Chain A
């Protein structure tokens, strides 16, 4: 602390250690101070030693490049899902763009993995575009799961065919109604457009008993 003010005036540039001990003699020209970080690619004084060539080196090199290529083809290489473009394009139907759902392409041994990692295995979805049309007969015994699956296939094929979808949706509604065993008597009894309960066909009119007529009938 005593040298705080004095250090600037007297004994400018004093170091804490004896310079001669480290080897810098008095009056030696020191290298210029560095004012910027060292260059990114300093010039090389000595060229590097050549790489080992020969049969072994070339074989290992070829092996490395082959391995790299092979790994990209294996199912372990997970490609990120291609983001949906702004407009649906016709060519999307014909381009395979990776797994549609999040299933795995290979079959790990699930017994060796923690249970929480198990992913629902994708079942082979067969093409159902033309098969669904003739399926009109009541399918009350159909499992709920199968409908859910069908609904999912429908979801996936949503973009492709819209008219078919509408037809299918109608069928779904019909089936659902049959399954729920609702029979809307009012709507379907005579297949008219009029709801029956609103119509009063006058059978009750005038059928009231005439006994105890104290009041006049108009």
Chain B
């Protein structure tokens, strides 16, 4: 774990769970697997606080536990999982695009709560949807259940490992920690529930709000006695599947940018066909025959078989090698090459970074070295058609930032410098790692700046919130224009301007975080796929 990653994890935990959880989480990430007593001793927090923090972290799948010998339970944190928290808005937006508002809320609830039972999710989502819908209508549980089942079928949500009760639990004392196992087949199996009901609207008037909790409190013990039909079956969001989806989306848009809409549709059809047959970290999809692709093209697309074949040949011959031809049976067997696709995307990211940071001439040199693999100083100047002095300057700038590296090739066994070739080369994997590290640092800087800006203007923000609350309450009791005007004037014009600037800055910083996270996703996927191949 690099320092930048640890710092970013610490900021994420602090923003979402508070300082105590942050301290425990960062300690676990830094030091690895630890038992409870050691955590208490090293972090200096009280035992109860540590227990609370660990419960929260385990609930959100950020920490796992393992029973070691002599009954000691050790806790281990997953740094990469903590970094995923940056991507939550993107997951939720994707679900909204695919399954509408219902799906969006289901995934949001699952992400916010870590893991939940299906009945709890359905109930909460129905209640939330009922509030947004107009008066008189309510959201039926059945609709929400349907969407949930669709999400489970397409594997966007999965079951958490279940408690494995040993058979002879009477003779042995209960283990210090439950053993959690999950069967591969059961992971997406939705339990048969008959959830009948409608969403409840939460009343907005104060009287009802006061009446309801008082009525609810005696009911609370009876609720616990009702057997929950799917007790013990918890669901969580399947982040790998989301990543697969993002990867597919990026590939399709890359093809659309490079060629045209039709080819991107063909690639999309191929990806859709291999969604469930290919595991998420496979380097290739299963070979698909041209006939199958033709059959599974979207209905509106009227292209003839010949045109499809031509497109496929074009895609397979493309130097980017997104699509490869693996055989001739069935009209031609085609695969999508994920490794190569991710490598091209990562390289494109690197090129774009160099272009934006150093200029287009530097980018030209970079692309040149990439293409020719190894080049001498003189050759770079000749091929790039850039005067020697500038070429030197640019090469050294890129060298100092570690985008380009030097490769020594000795002519003589004693490696004498005057008789050694020094060649410039680009090692895409190490450059990608370096860029990823820089991305983590950027996100850390962005978050810190945002927190700083908010802290600077805390007094002003609180004041504006108070004024808004006053306006709302005055409006509710019915007020004239003059009164509202007067209240609004409590915030002076320069203060208003300051608030505007603050809002704009915070929005910009937030949007930048989201943007950097997209780059992080791309680079991480590339590095992961390359490492697996090796």
Which among B73, B377, B388, B515 is the interface contact of A52 at CB below 8 angstroms?
A: B515
Interface residues of B in 410-435 (CB under 8 A from A): 417-418, 420-422
Contacts A17-B422, A102-B52, A115-B177 given; 15 further ones with Cβ under 8 A?
Answer: A24-B392, A45-B358, A57-B511, A60-B89, A61-B514, A67-B112, A71-B16, A76-B114, A80-B18, A112-B163, A113-B58, A114-B65, A115-B174, A116-B36, A119-B52
**Does residue B261 face the partner (Cβ distance < 8 Å to A)?**
no
Minimum Cβ distance to chain B for residue A100 (Å): 12
Residue in chain B with minimal CB distance to A21:
B422
A78, B49: Cβ atoms closer than 8 Å: yes
Which among A16, A57, A116 is the interface contact of B176 at CB below 8 angstroms?
A: A116
The stretch that binds B, out of A103-111, A142-150, A199-207, is A103-111
Minimum Cβ distance to chain B for residue A167 (Å): 30
In the complex, chain A residues whose CB is within 8 Å of the CB of B54:
117
**Does residue A77 face the partner (Cβ distance < 8 Å to B)?**
yes
Which residue among A45, A56, A79, A113 has the maximum number of chain B CB atoms within 10 Å of its CB? Answer: A113
B48, A64: Cβ atoms closer than 8 Å: no
Interface Cβ pair total, 8 Å cutoff: 140
- Please report whether the interface of chain A is mostly helix, strand, loop or mixed according to DSSP: loop
| CB pairs A–B below 8 angstroms (12 shown) | A17-B417, A22-B422, A45-B359, A46-B356, A49-B356, A78-B17, A78-B21, A102-B46, A104-B52, A111-B163, A114-B176, A119-B48
Which among B17, B359, B388 is the interface contact of A23 at CB below 8 angstroms?
A: B388
B73, A116: Cβ atoms closer than 8 Å: yes
**Does residue A213 face the partner (Cβ distance < 8 Å to B)?**
no
Interface residues of A in 88-143 (CB under 8 A from B): 102, 104, 108-109, 111-117, 119
**Does residue A1 face the partner (Cβ distance < 8 Å to B)?**
no
**Does residue B178 face the partner (Cβ distance < 8 Å to A)?**
yes
Minimum Cβ distance to chain A for residue B384 (Å): 13
A24 to B395, CA, bound (A): 12
B49, A76: Cβ atoms closer than 8 Å: no
Minimum Cβ distance to chain A for residue B413 (Å): 16
**Does residue B357 face the partner (Cβ distance < 8 Å to A)?**
yes
State how many residues of chain A have any CB contact under 8 Å with chain B.
Answer: 44
The interface of chain B, by Cβ under 8 A from chain A, is 15-21, 36, 46, 48-49, 51-56, 58-60, 65, 67, 73, 88-90, 92-93, 108, 112-114, 163, 174, 176-178, 180, 232, 234, 356-359, 377-378, 388, 392, 395, 417-418, 420-422, 507-508, 510-515
Residue in chain B with minimal CB distance to A49:
B356
Which among A61, A71, A76, A112 is the interface contact of B507 at CB below 8 angstroms?
A: A61
B417, A18: Cβ atoms closer than 8 Å: yes
Evaluate whether A77 and B16 lie within 8 angstroms (CB atoms) in the complex, with A46-B357, A64-B514, A108-B59 already known.
Answer: yes
Which 6 residue pairs spanning A and B have beta carbons closest together?
A17-B417, A102-B48, A114-B177, A18-B418, A23-B377, A64-B89
In the complex, chain B residues whose CB is within 8 Å of the CB of A80:
18-20
Evaluate whether A76 and B59 lie within 8 angstroms (CB atoms) in the complex, with A17-B417, A21-B418, A116-B36 already known.
Answer: yes
In the complex, chain B residues whose CB is within 8 Å of the CB of A117:
36, 51, 54-55, 58
Minimum Cβ distance to chain B for residue A65 (Å): 6
**Does residue A87 face the partner (Cβ distance < 8 Å to B)?**
no
**Does residue A59 face the partner (Cβ distance < 8 Å to B)?**
yes
A48 to B516, CA, bound (A): 13
Which among A21, A46, A109, A112 is the interface contact of B359 at CB below 8 angstroms?
A: A46
A68 to B46, CA, bound (A): 27
**Does residue A70 face the partner (Cβ distance < 8 Å to B)?**
yes
A170 to B45, CA, bound (A): 38
**Does residue A51 face the partner (Cβ distance < 8 Å to B)?**
yes
B55, A113: Cβ atoms closer than 8 Å: yes
**Does residue A63 face the partner (Cβ distance < 8 Å to B)?**
yes
In the complex, chain B residues whose CB is within 8 Å of the CB of A113:
55, 58, 65, 177-178
Evaluate whether A119 and B53 lie within 8 angstroms (CB atoms) in the complex, with A51-B511, A67-B89, A114-B65 already known.
Answer: no
In the complex, chain A residues whose CB is within 8 Å of the CB of B21:
76, 78
Residue in chain B with minimal CB distance to A44:
B357
Please encode chain A, from 1 to 45, with 1 for each CB lying within 8 Å of some chain B CB and 0 for all others: 000000000000001111001111000000000000000000001
**Does residue A74 face the partner (Cβ distance < 8 Å to B)?**
yes
B510, A63: Cβ atoms closer than 8 Å: no
In the complex, chain B residues whose CB is within 8 Å of the CB of A68:
15-16
In the complex, chain B residues whose CB is within 8 Å of the CB of A64:
88-89, 510, 513-514
Which among B60, B92, B174, B422 is the interface contact of A76 at CB below 8 angstroms?
A: B60
Which among A17, A61, A116 is the interface contact of B418 at CB below 8 angstroms?
A: A17
